[in-house]
Structure 1
Amino acid sequence: MENNQLPIIAATKDGFNRFADFSGVSTRSQYWYFVLSTTIATVIAQVAFGDFGGNLVSIITLLPTIAVAVRRMHDVGKSGWFILVPIYNFILAVSPSKPATNNF
């Protein structure tokens, strides 16, 4: 991430630049900043344009959000398939990164 940007902006750019990259890792802060920014964008679109706007933003951000979540699972040393297990997925999303090099 670039040093002269706010972390939320850098994480959002990274999430969209790597929208179909399901390999590698995303740190805890990258994941949560991306989730926060896409949630804010969805709420703004929902308020401004109604259901259509909110749904459109949700559809546009679906693939990048899944990719960031898979990379987050990799960062804690788990397979990306763990995003399909909701409660365990949340526990892993808030877990610290594994300090050792991982296989992803």
Structure 2
Amino acid sequence: MAVPIAFRPLTKYADFNGRARRQEFWLFWLVQFLFFSVLNSIVMALMFQSFSTISAQTDPSNFMFNPTFMVLGQVGNVISLALLVPNLAVGVRRLHDTNRTGWWLILPIAAFVVGLVLFLVTQGGHLASLFTDKYENNPQAVFSLIGSGFLMVWLPTFVGSVVLFVFNVLDGTPGANRFGPDPKGRGVTADVAQTFA
């Protein structure tokens, strides 16, 4: 029995070799998005229902200990953790399909870390002064820090994510590349096709 393409990354759980088609990559993400959207909607509905049943006389923090949505939330966390490796593997194989190394996958994380270090090195003194009386009545300095954080941390991370998104949207290399044969079967010559016939 053939495994549907949306679940194929689960059968190749930790396989970082070879290539993955766009269809395999995006359908796997779509199934996860739909699953977690439904799960989170149920958790939020149960949480708000629990919160609304608390009377004004009781402690409002008690709603956090409703076992139903707490357990569902933890189940979602465990499933997310279990899907981390196949997500990384299919991401690497997808980059392989475009003839790029899987190390491109860390581009947004690397941009975030480098940007954060740069922000802390250049703005660390201003950030520390923020908690003193020096900046108490100086909103311009606060907005300057926010702007610097945006330019040094958020913007490079966003650009790295867009670059990775574009790589994942691009069609794979027709025919075989350095990571293996084309998963779509393109580039097979007539001589090779006759040997398989």
Task: Tell me which of 23, 29, 34 is aligned to 1:35.
Answer: 29
| In structure 1, C-alpha distance between the alignment counterparts of 2:165 and 2:41, rounded to whole Å | 27
Letter in 2 for 1:67: A
The answer as to whether partners of 1:45 and 1:53 remain within 8 angstroms in 2 is: no
| In structure 1, C-alpha distance between the alignment counterparts of 2:7 and 2:26, rounded to whole Å | 13
Any unmatched runs of 5+ in structure 1? 3-8
- Confirm or deny that 1:73 pairs with 2:67: no
The answer as to whether partners of 1:46 and 1:53 remain within 8 angstroms in 2 is: no
- Confirm or deny that 1:98 pairs with 2:173: yes
Larger Rg: 2
State the Cα distance separating 1:53 from its structure 2 match: 3.4
Letter in 1 for 2:77: N
State the Cα distance separating 1:100 from its structure 2 match: 2.9
Range 56-65 or range 25-34, more displaced: 56-65
TM-score (norm. length: structure 1): 0.82
Cα offsets for 1:33-84 (capped at 9, x unmatched)? 0011112122222233443233222112111111110000000000011111
User: Aligned to 2:83, what secondary structure does the other structure show?
Assistant: helix
Letter in 2 for 1:44: V
Q: CA RMSD in A?
A: 1.9
The answer as to whether partners of 1:45 and 1:57 remain within 8 angstroms in 2 is: no
- Confirm or deny that 1:62 pairs with 2:84: yes
Range 46-55 or range 36-45, more displaced: 46-55
User: Aligned to 2:177, what secondary structure does the other structure show?
Assistant: coil
State the Cα distance separating 1:25 from its structure 2 match: 0.6
- Confirm or deny that 1:23 pairs with 2:98: no
The aligned length equals 98
Any unmatched runs of 5+ in structure 2? 44-68, 108-160, 180-197
State the Cα distance separating 1:19 from its structure 2 match: 0.9
TM-score (norm. length: structure 2): 0.46
| In structure 2, C-alpha distance between the alignment counterparts of 1:59 and 1:23, rounded to whole Å | 21
| In structure 2, C-alpha distance between the alignment counterparts of 1:88 and 1:12, rounded to whole Å | 24
